């Protein structure tokens, strides 16, 4: 035992001796490795030439040092060095700049070398004085940048002033101190915590130099550009190159678990973790050095992994039949548990598949497949997505991806596997008696190809509630655009007219051009989406109904949004295309006024926007309800025409309302008038004729308003000739 302990002691001493030798040999062979108080001068720095090889003791001229009178200087200059670190930092003594009122000149320390940079983390720039301004100039690539301190005083009694500022941001490779002064002015740039202010310093400072931390690098290019050159500085096998953070040169570092001087051949040595007790083995005897690391082991006769966390090493237990039985039983139980778990997982998987199949049939999946297989036009096929595809696309329907909620479902933003962004609508539970109609609507909607209608891309029927997949429109809703919370909305008349025209065109398409007419039943500004160029796209067909070609109206349960609902539809439950016309009239009023359709915060006579709008129109007060900035001399005719059209759409009787096709044509005409002003004269005549016809009709029926003799279009009083009803 004593022999073993002696051997271990000798080994430890040997390791420590090698470490001491490695620490002492930081310079090249035959080169001076100390000077005065600087006990270690590591290569790539060096003094003069090697007495062994005759070569330079330094890597490059910028890193040459001089030892004069036991004091270390950089090159042949006067910058005194007090410490050098292989971590890329060097401490120097630098002159402070000191000027008094009656003196003509002070010190101006200057350092011009791209290999050295003032450390912005380890230094502070300090200015002491009254009514003074001290700053540093940095010169780089022919440009000058400055940073500095300003001290001011309000009276002679206020003499205590000092400002400190870190050297931020700039790579100060070449710098000079400058000053302007009134009384006492002192500048110093030095190591953090090295200077403490005293009021006596306003009269003068009894020292002329202060330590300053510089950062250094070798070479003048990046690691990639330098590693194949002859003067590449990272010589050690266990080292790597690191680009300088200041974009000039590079530094060498020893690999993890190695230490030493990476600039010397074989300069990086393995750290002896075992000898230094830097390990997690249960004892040093069970620690073995490896290249760049260590390992724990158990010697012969002991079992375990040798680590403290793993219980260390312990003696082997004698063979016991009872232990074999316990081990066998344990293995059997584990195998049984694994088998049962596998069977349970298979059962659950089968159960999920059956449930998906049940939902698929329940939601009309079989009917949809049959319909798709019989379709002749395969260019616009509807995709049937799996539940897994849409779960992955929405990160399992993460709430952060919700882009909208409505009365008929929630809309999520999703990303398909082909990187296509889509909108996925999670609808409410479908009435099983309406499954065939739901599938028919999916088929019809998927065939709609209109640039102002949101395209239906497909659906998923494997979930309890069907999921519909639409194209994604990324600029929000018209409602949000008009009523941004707390923001002043500046909507131009040109944009309002374009959005109204595009929306009317889309609804006209649904009513008149689609293979089976479609009544939207929930036309409102929150169901009109805007793309990146603010083009309108009608969306959300959750409440829509298909109208058989031989029918003009459908008896349904009243659905829609309060403020947009057709009063006639609310009373009779008979849904017609004119119900969408009324709702679109509310949208027109919303565009004209910038107000919400119904708001309890408004006074009682203004709560219903349509009632307030129609009353203002009838009383020749249209300008009072228009949103600010929408009306000017150039568009006055178009605004009034759209207001009249909105009033016609809001008639209580559906038969008296224009069709959606007529509305779209009229808006297109107004838009055309805006682009081609020469058409205005003709339109003035047509509108004048229309108002004259209404005047004559009113006289025939004894309408008192016929006494108004205004037939000119520019007179808003002519609007009194149009009967609006109560306009609820």
Annotated binding residues for ATP, written as ranges, equal 426
What tokens were used for 677?
A: 């002003």
The SS3 assignment for 373 reads: helix
Residue ranges of the annotated binding site are 426
Query: Long-range contacts: 354-362, Cβ < 8 Å, 24+?
Result: 356/387, 356/462, 356/463, 357/462, 359/461, 359/462, 359/463, 359/464, 360/461, 360/462, 362/432, 362/435
Dihedral sign computed on CA atoms, order 300, 305, 309, 314? negative
Give the C-alpha separation, 578 to 655, whole Å.
8
Half-sphere exposure of 524 (CA within 13 A, CB side): 23
Interatomic CA distance for residues 575 and 559, integer angstroms: 10
- CA 147 to chain CA centroid, Å, is 33
CA distance 446 to 470: 9
For residue 666, what are its two tokens? 């009229």
Size (the chain), residues: 728
Nearest partner of 561 among 596, 511, 509, 516, judged by Cα: 596
CA 672 to chain CA centroid, nearest Å: 42
Rounded Cα distance between 582 and 571, Å, is 14
Catalytic residue among 91, 270, 282, 522: 522
Please state, in angstroms and as integers, the Cα–Cα distance from residue 722 to each residue in 12, 154, 643, 691, 706, following that order.
109, 76, 12, 8, 11
The C-alpha atoms of residue 562 and residue 569 are separated, in whole angstroms, by 12
Asked if 165 and 151 count as a contact pair (C-beta separation under 8 A), the reply is no
Examine the residue annotation and report whether 300 is marked as an active-site residue of this protein: no
SS3 content of the chain, % helix, strand, coil (to 5): 35, 25, 40
The residues annotated as belonging to the active site are 522
């Amino acid at each position: 035992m004593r022999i073993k302990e002696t051997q271990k002691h000798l080994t430890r001493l040997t390791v420590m001796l090698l470490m001491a030798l490695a620490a002492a040999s930081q310079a090249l062979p035959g080169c001076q490795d100390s000077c005065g108080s600087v006990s270690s001068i590591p290569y790539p720095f060096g003094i003069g030439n090697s007495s062994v090889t005759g070569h330079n003791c330094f890597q490059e001229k910028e890193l040459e040092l001089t030892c004069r009178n036991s004091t270390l200087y950089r090159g042949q200059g006067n910058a005194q060095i007090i410490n050098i670190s292989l971590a890329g930092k060097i401490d120097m003594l630098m002159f402070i700049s000191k000027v008094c009122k009656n003196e003509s000149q002070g010190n101006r320390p200057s350092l011009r070398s791209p290999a050295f940079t003032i450390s912005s983390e380890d230094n502070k720039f300090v200015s002491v004085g009254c009514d003074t301004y001290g700053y540093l100039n940095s010169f780089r690539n022919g440009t000058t940048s400055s940073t500095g301190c300003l001290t001011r005083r309000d009276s002679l009694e206020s003499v205590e002033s000092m400002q400190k500022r870190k050297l931020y941001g700039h790579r100060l490779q070449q710098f000079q101190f400058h000053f302007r002064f009134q009384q006492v002015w002192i500048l110093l740039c030095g190591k953090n915590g090295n200077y403490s202010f005293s009021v006596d310093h306003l009269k003068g400072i009894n020292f002329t130099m202060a330590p300053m931390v510089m950062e250094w690098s070798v070479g003048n290019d990046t690691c990639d550009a330098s590693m194949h050159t002859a003067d590449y500085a990272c010589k050690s096998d266990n080292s790597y190159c690191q680009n300088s953070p200041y974009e000039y040169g590079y530094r060498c570092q020893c690999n993890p678990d190695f230490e030493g001087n990476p600039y010397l051949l074989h300069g990086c040595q393995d750290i002896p973790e075992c000898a230094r007790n830097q390990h997690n083995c249960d004892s040093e005897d069970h620690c073995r050095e490896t290249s760049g690391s260590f390992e724990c082991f158990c010697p012969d006769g002991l079992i375990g992994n040798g680590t403290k966390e793993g219980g260390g090493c312990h003696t082997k237990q004698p063979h016991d039949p009872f232990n074999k039985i316990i081990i066998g039983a344990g293995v059997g139980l584990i195998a049984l548990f694994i088998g049962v778990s596998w069977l349970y997982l298979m059962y659950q998987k089968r159960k999920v598949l059956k449930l998906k199949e049940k939902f698929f049939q329940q939601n009309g999946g079989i009917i949809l497949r049959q319909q798709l297989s019989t379709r002749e036009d395969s260019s616009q096929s509807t995709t049937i997505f799996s539940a897994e595809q849409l779960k992955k696309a929405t990160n399992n329907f993460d709430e952060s991806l919700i882009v909208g909620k409505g009365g008929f479902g929630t809309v999520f933003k999703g990303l398909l596997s082909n990187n296509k962004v889509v909108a996925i609508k999670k609808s409410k539970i479908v009435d099983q008696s309406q499954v065939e109609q739901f599938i028919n609507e999916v088929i019809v909607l998927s065939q709609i190809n209109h640039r102002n209608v949101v395209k239906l891309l497909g659906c998923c029927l494997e979930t309890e509630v069907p999921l519909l997949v639409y194209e994604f429109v990324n600029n929000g809703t018209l409602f949000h655009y008009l009523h941004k919370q707390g923001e002043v909305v500046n909507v131009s008349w040109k944009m309002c007219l374009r959005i109204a025209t595009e929306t009317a065109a889309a609804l006209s398409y649904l009513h008149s051009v689609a293979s089976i007419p479609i009544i939207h039943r929930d036309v409102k500004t929150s169901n009109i989406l805007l793309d990146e160029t603010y083009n309108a796209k009608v969306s959300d067909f959750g409440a829509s109904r298909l109208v058989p070609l031989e029918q003009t109206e459908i008896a349904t349960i009243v659905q829609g949004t309060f403020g947009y609902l057709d009063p006639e539809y609310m009373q009779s439950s008979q849904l017609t295309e004119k119900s969408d016309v009324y709702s679109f009239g509310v949208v027109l009023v919303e565009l004209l006024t910038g107000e919400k359709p119904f708001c309890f915060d408004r006074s009682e006579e203004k709560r219903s926007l349509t009632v307030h709008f129609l009353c203002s129109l009838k009383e020749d007060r249209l300008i009072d309800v228009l949103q600010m900035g929408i009306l000017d001399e150039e568009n006055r005719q178009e605004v009034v025409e759209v207001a009249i059209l909105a009033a016609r759409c809001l008639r209580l009787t559906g038969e008296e309302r224009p069709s959606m096709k007529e509305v779209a044509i009229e808006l297109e005409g107004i838009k055309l008038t805006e682009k081609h002003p020469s058409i205005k004269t003709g339109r003035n005549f047509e509108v004048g004729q229309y108002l004259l016809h209404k005047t004559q009709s009113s006289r025939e029926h004894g309408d008192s308003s016929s006494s108004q003799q205004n037939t000119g279009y520019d007179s808003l009083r002519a609007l009194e000739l149009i009967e609006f009803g109560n306009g609820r």
